[in-house]
Amino acid sequence: MADLRKEQERDELHRAIWAIADELRGSVDGWDFKSYVLGMMFYRYISENLTNYINDGEEEAGNTGFNYAELSDEEAEQAREDLVKTKGFFILPSELFGNVKKNAAGDENLNMTLEKIFNNIEESAKGSESESNFAGLFDDIDVNSNKLGATVAKRNANLVKLMDGVANMKLGKYKDNSIDAFGDAYEYLMSMYASNAGKSGGEFFTPQDVSELLTRIAVAGKTEVNKVYDPACGSGSLLLKAAKILGKDNVRQGFYGQEINLTTYNLCRINMFLHDIDFDKFDIAHEDTLLSPQHWDEEPFEVIVSNPPYSIKWEGDDNPVLINGDCEKKSVNI
């Protein structure tokens, strides 16, 4: 029964993505389409995540029937500081995905509205502990790009279709799904468009079945670990499999990784949030692991997982490589 439910959820998700692709066919290039869909899914997720968090707290306090989405922006502002401390970000009620979608079709400046909201979300984390986790998260969903349409009117028309399509996805509470909804959407989109875009899918993600096998081998015999590290983390699939297999609370000090590709680095951070990993439980660096390894000051990682881009040539003639304790200069293929 569990497998049947999983297949039904996956098929429904794929149909929803295909419906959006069909709506935008000929308007948005497939590779760019991927970024827009995932970015809009993230916007929907954090809007619903914040709303549910506030509503649940109010209900526990006896304020039944409270709905943050119906609050005025002025009233909501009073909770900004506390919410940034606990959730890492803040969104005004008027800027929540659901409220923006209601008015999207009639908003002649929808692209500017969304650009402002995305900037506001990132800005809300500035000066806080979560700043590095939110900086640049929406860079790959450029609502003013010609890739989305040649004119403002065409861009906005496509943004309305995009928001409608993402709103129609029956994602429920992400962490309760029997499938990895976001990860599955990413893998499906990669399989749809990677070959046509001339890109190697394996450079950006590890298929879920492979991720699970590698991670189960790495954590064999363990019920909890101090932390998990991936030096070439891509979209974070291996890190997140550790959270799923062990339970995120059993990775006591969190998830660490590095990723050189900016788009995939942003995707990894988004992926962490979508899997309900709090901002203070992950540290993903945008660096070249060979030339600029990060996290030197952390205590040893109990689990290290990786599916590195072994087919990419790396010219290391001017960079030392540590071999058997000796420093040598070499050019290597990784």
Query: What does the alpha-carbon distance between residue 109 and residue 125 come to, in Å, rounded to a whole number?
Result: 25
Alpha helices in the chain (DSSP H): 2-24, 30-60, 73-77, 80-87, 97-104, 110-124, 131-134, 152-167, 181-193, 208-218, 237-246, 262-274
DSSP one-letter code for 93: G
CB 185 within 8 A of CB 38: yes
Which residue numbers in the chain have pLDDT < 50? Answer: 197, 200-202, 319-334
The residue written with tokens 């979209």 in the block is 235
At residue 316, the pLDDT reads 54
At residue 320, the pLDDT reads 44
Q: Are strands 255-258 and 313-314 parallel, antiparallel or unpaired?
A: unpaired
Domain ranges for the chain, please list them: 2-193, 201-333
At residue 30, the pLDDT reads 65
At residue 183, the pLDDT reads 63
At residue 326, the pLDDT reads 40
At residue 86, the pLDDT reads 93
pLDDT of 142-197, one tens digit each? Answer: 999 888 888 999 999 999 999 999 998 876 655 555 556 666 776 777 666 655 54
Kindly calculate the radius of gyration of the chain based on its CA atoms and give it in whole angstroms: 21
Class of domain 2-193: mainly alpha
Pick the CATH number of 201-333 from 3.40.50.150, 3.90.960.10, 2.70.150.10, 2.40.50.90: 3.40.50.150
Same CATH topology for 2-193 and 201-333: the answer is: no
Query: What does the alpha-carbon distance between residue 334 and residue 331 come to, in Å, rounded to a whole number?
Result: 10
Which is nearest to 278 in space by CA: 48, 87, 90?
A: 87
At residue 122, the pLDDT reads 96
At CB < 8 A and 24+ separation, what contacts does 75-83 make?
A: 79/54, 80/124, 83/50, 83/54
**Can you give the pTM of this predicted structure?**
0.82
Query: What does the alpha-carbon distance between residue 41 and residue 38 come to, in Å, rounded to a whole number?
Result: 5
